[in-house]
Chains A and B, each alone.
Chain A
């Protein structure tokens, strides 16, 4: 789990020797010339990639403060002054506030639902023997590798028949359903690693299974729950395919589809600065949260792949 605890090798070489102390290898083993060219080359590549990652993002931030005329005439120039009116225009006129609100509602409910239902199913599958256990487990796991788009065609009509199409509760249920495979997979593995003795003790003391789960097991599973919550939060916040197919009502659009819609409509109106303000507005909170909770975010997103 603590995948990111690699010693930050170079930041503070003096206080913290970067690797487990082993005997020093005498220098002459490496031909110095080979080392130097390679170093130069590798550093160059690393810097180049960092540059390629950061530049588009910086360019977007810069563009969001420019006037439309400047965007076209001098794309790389700094804005002549900070045009905050782009931001307020995007927030109010371009419905960014509605998109944010819809996304918050959908992701809030889906996340809680996913975590609750996912860990309930995972706990039962990890800790109890019953006929069909393996079958249900693989039924959940199988959902991870199937192409979602295949299911979306009939799902559209299933939702229509249930009158859930173009409604936020419908979208919430679908988000939960499509987040379950990975959540169950991850949490089952996590519950298996927890000691059985604590649950047994609680049970002997007269706690019911349900109470044991909520008051003993869930608190013990907190590290796993945090990782998978971050994973699901980002996945659901950034979701594009599901709402594009199942939630096309103008008033209920979520952030990602709202932005795409904005790109189309602003294209006609020529309000590029407003669009860039909207993009940056959607981008910055997530980036800021990532920079603050770096360690947890990286652990959450890489946790599954390292299991």
Chain B
């Protein structure tokens, strides 16, 4: 196998590596370098300014708001999404009524649920964001008009109620949660399917043994399903956190929220990737944008480190 081996290796690696380095690695290295300059992006001239961008960032109120929101996303989004997904997957696989010949069974129609839950995963995040922007519309959106319909139905039944008509994306207290809900909406299905596949590979004998010992469903979940699924949950956690800090969150906030290229009202929905984008491509402060980008990189790496650390458990072989 030696003949012409190195020529072959170089021949096969050259093109992919060249493209990858030119468009991914090189810009990454440059961006860290630029964060120490005063480059505007508009003119080719710039000079080194040391840590000036970083000190400016620490005093920047909008940066801290974005930082706060991003940290909230990276903590809560995986938590909410994975909890919901674990619950649904467990119901689909183990939650059904017990039948003859089967120790455990999923609910009726579980394959139908899996197909439907997966829908959002194949749609573009941009389409989903646009769709919900209209659904949240306070006057004629799907949500408020559904609320109104429920209200009039209740009044017709004799209840004296006035249904709330929130301003959703226009309300600084609600806007961020509206965005959050959309991200949960489009991610849960993927994890339901992923966890279902994992649960299906857990040997049925374990459930049988637990049932013979008199365990109920909740105990079964915490003592058998979750520990044996832990590896998948951990990688799902990392994946979801990176999504919360990455392109998906950016798209949802940029498209859905108000203000010049998103983040409003009153910076209540701004997040780190959006702020990087705005500084670089709206305000012409490329160097400062890369500084915020470096902060985002640090948050991402810290998150990955925490997941690896907290997620480490003794690997169970089965």
Contact = CB atoms under 8 A, between A and B. Distances in A.
Interface in A221-264: 234, 237-241, 244-245, 255-257, 259-260, 263
Nearest to B97: A39
Interface in A273-294: 276, 279, 282-283, 286-287, 289-291, 294
Given A53-B116, A151-B27, A156-B281, A260 B255 contact: yes
Contact of B123 (A4, A283, A305): A283
B290 A305 contact: no
Nearest to A176: B19
B125 interface: yes
Interface stretch (B52-60, B103-111, B157-165, B172-180): B103-111
A121 B12 contact: yes
Nearest to B280: A153
Given A72-B139, A121-B13, A180-B19, A208 B4 contact: yes
Contacts of B105: 9-10, 18-19
Interface stretch (B75-83, B84-92, B310-318): B84-92
Contacts of B111: 8-9, 11
B277 A149 contact: yes
Interface residues of A, number: 119
B222 to A, nearest CB: 15
Given A49-B88, A180-B19, A283-B127, A203 B290 contact: no
A168 to B, nearest CB: 15
A239 to B, nearest CB: 8
Contacts of B301: 145
A305 B196 contact: no
Contact of A237 (B115, B124, B130, B197): B124
A121 B16 contact: yes
A151 B197 CA distance: 35
SS class, residues of chain A in contact with chain B = helix
A93 to B, nearest CB: 18
Contact of B126 (A30, A151, A177, A260): A260
A213 B91 CA distance: 45
A75 to B, nearest CB: 4
Interface in A1-47: 3-11, 13, 17-25, 27, 29-30, 34-35, 38-39, 42-43, 45-46
A286 B193 CA distance: 18
Interface in A98-126: 117-118, 120-121, 123-125
Interface string B127-162: 100111111000111100110010000000000000
B265 interface: no
Interface in A143-159: 143, 145-158
A130 B9 contact: yes
Q: Chain B at the A interface: mostly helix, strand, loop or mixed?
A: helix
A128 B4 CA distance: 12
B239 A35 contact: no
A302 B102 contact: no
Given A3-B197, A146-B300, A180 B123 contact: no
B204 interface: yes
B119 interface: yes
Contacts of A74: 145
Nearest to B289: A153
Most buried by B among A9, A74, A158: A9
A45 B91 contact: yes
Contacts of A289: 122
Contacts of A22: 103, 204-205, 208
B276 A75 contact: no
A256 B123 CA distance: 10
Given A25-B98, A53-B120, A153 B110 contact: no
B62 interface: no
Interface in A32-74: 34-35, 38-39, 42-43, 45-46, 49-50, 52-57, 59-60, 63, 71-74
23 contacts: A4-B193, A9-B111, A19-B104, A23-B208, A46-B107, A53-B116, A53-B185, A73-B140, A76-B149, A121-B17, A143-B25, A145-B301, A156-B41, A157-B41, A173-B19, A178-B23, A200-B1, A209-B5, A256-B124, A259-B126, A260-B255, A298-B193, A306-B198
